[in-house]
Amino acid sequence: MNAMHTYGFLLLPSHNRLYAAGAADLARAELLVLSDAVLDGAVREVAAAELGGVPYVTFRAPELTAGQLRHVANLSSLYALFLIEGEPDAPALRPVPVERLDRFPSDLITIQKYPGKTNEDFTKLLLNVTAMACDAPQRLLSGGLRVLDPLCGRGTTLNQALMYGLDSAGVEQDARSVEAYENFLRHWLKAGRLKHRAESGQVRRDKRTLGRRLSVEIGENKELYKKGQSIGLTVVQADTVASDQFFRPGSFDLIVTDAPYGVRYGSRTRGEGGGLTRSPLPLLSEAVPVWARLLRTGGAIGISWNTYGATRAELAEVLADAGFEVRDTEPYRGFEHRVDQAITRDLIVARKTA
Ligand SMILES: C[S@@+](CC[C@H](N)C(=O)[O-])C[C@H]1O[C@@H](n2cnc3c(N)ncnc32)[C@H](O)[C@@H]1O
């Protein structure tokens, strides 16, 4: 057996702000999911600790290999990683270099601010955890997973996928959100002088307009673009229930989405928050079977939602009915957190098995 080491990491300041008292718990859950999927279950004894008056998350593991560290580097919460040596009452911290996958400047993720945006750190967490549940989690690092956000708003998931170098597509019914995202993306690509090709227009079939589509091919750099190794991003403005009119069956590895919260326009009250919350269940019951067809067998789906609108058991049932196997072990149950008075958010992840 390899000797065990103690590691500790600092949480990103934004992660601490987002989850407040729950920050260490969410970091722990994400790390354990990652450990099971790509670190041979090597991580043990994940705990919150204070060193020199500063909060850390610590864990025990055999010395992490370079390949394993490349995964750990992309934890949504990780700011800086250390090996903790010496005696418990006089620990010495040795920095462990981490290389994030980020292929573009961080303003891709942070510039857009608008009501209804899914927090970008949480979106990264949801994408990571969903990728870990598919049958090829290692491909997160090699650009080999194709991502669909079928309720994409103004593209937070698509931006994170692009950041990772993954091809992605989104569906959103609100025309203003799609237009705003297209404007942002075109402007950002131009401002960053990134090689790209963008086309948008109506999608018509049998003399009927099905929706509007934006297709973009983006080069991480000139050389890759010239070689034809660009990253694809497509956004369709349409009802998500018609997603299968735009994409081929089995053409995605991951579906990652934040379900509507319905807080402002809701008609049904649940939970202690007292906010008006409409259940996402009618939409999800109709849409999940459609989305399931777009996912290949072995692919995974991750949905976040407001628990005041539906229970975990209700979402699990919708997924199971559509042929998914829900991931329900302990770390997958560690993501519930309070967002505000009217929203307590959780996520559920499942793999398509047939
Ligand atoms: C929680 S928001 C997602 C926000 C997105 N992650 C972002 O950061 O911009 C849910 C989105 O689902 C969209 N939506 C609701 N019902 C839809 C439907 N039937 N078809 C397509 N989009 C829908 C809403 O317009 C909203 O933008």
> Can you give 133-183 as a three-state secondary structure string?
CCCCHHHHCCCCCCEEECCCCCCHHHHHHHHCCCCEEEEECCHHHHHHHHH
Distance between CA 263 and CA 275 in Å, rounded? 6
| Of 130, 90, 117, 94, nearest in space to 184 by CA | 117
Q: Residue 333 gets which letter from DSSP?
A: G
* Selection from 93, 22, 83, 4 nearest residue 51 by Cα: 93
The CA 288 to ligand 1 mean position distance, Å, reads 14
By most ligand atoms within 8 Å of CB, the mutation choice from 18, 112, 151, 152 for ligand 1 is: 151
Mutation probe of ligand 1 site: the residue of 112, 173, 288 with most atoms within 8 A of C-beta: 173
| Cα(172) to centroid(ligand 1), Å | 6
* Residue 276 contacts residue 269 (beta carbons within 8 Å): yes
pLDDT in tens, the chain (354 residues): 579 999 999 999 888 888 888 899 999 999 999 999 999 999 999 999 999 888 999 999 999 999 999 999 999 999 999 999 998 788 999 999 999 999 999 999 999 999 999 999 999 999 999 999 999 999 999 989 999 999 999 999 999 999 999 999 999 999 999 999 999 999 999 999 999 999 999 998 888 888 899 999 999 888 888 888 899 999 999 999 999 999 999 999 999 999 998 765 334 444 434 445 689 999 999 999 999 999 999 999 999 999 999 999 999 999 999 999 999 999 999 999 999 888 999 999 999 998
Predicted pLDDT of residue 270: 43
Which residues surround ligand 1 with Cβ inside 6 Å? Answer: 116-118, 151-154, 156-157, 171-174, 177, 239-241, 258, 260-261, 283
The confidence score (pLDDT) of residue 263 equals 65
Closest-CA residue, ligand 1 atom 3, reads: 153
Beta strand 324-326 with 196-205 is unpaired
Using the mean position of ligand 1's atoms as its centre, give its distance from the Cα of residue 268 in Å: 19
Q: What is the pLDDT of residue 274?
A: 43
Tokens of 183: 């404007």
Q: Whose CA is nearest to atom 26 of ligand 1?
A: 153
- pLDDT for position 184: 97
Based on the number of CB atoms within 10 Å of its own CB, is 250 exposed (0-12), middle (13-18) or buried (19 or more)?
middle
Closest CA to 321 of 278, 280, 354, 298: 354
Tokens representing residue 198 in the block: 């963008």
Domains of the chain: residue spans and CATH = 4-96 (3.30.70), 107-352 (3.40.50.150)
For residue 237, what pLDDT is reported?
97
pTM above 0.85, yes or no: yes
Residue whose Cα lies nearest atom 25 of ligand 1: it is 174
Best of 126, 172, 213 to mutate for ligand 1, by most ligand atoms within 8 A of CB? 172
Atom of ligand 1 nearest to the CA of 181: 9
Ligand 1 atom nearest to CA at 151: 12
Of all atoms in ligand 1, which is nearest to the CA of residue 283? Answer: 19
- Distance (Å) from CA 223 to ligand 1 centroid: 35
Q: Copy the structure tokens of residue 70.
A: 């490349």
SS3 241: helix
The pLDDT score that the predictor gives to residue 329 is 92
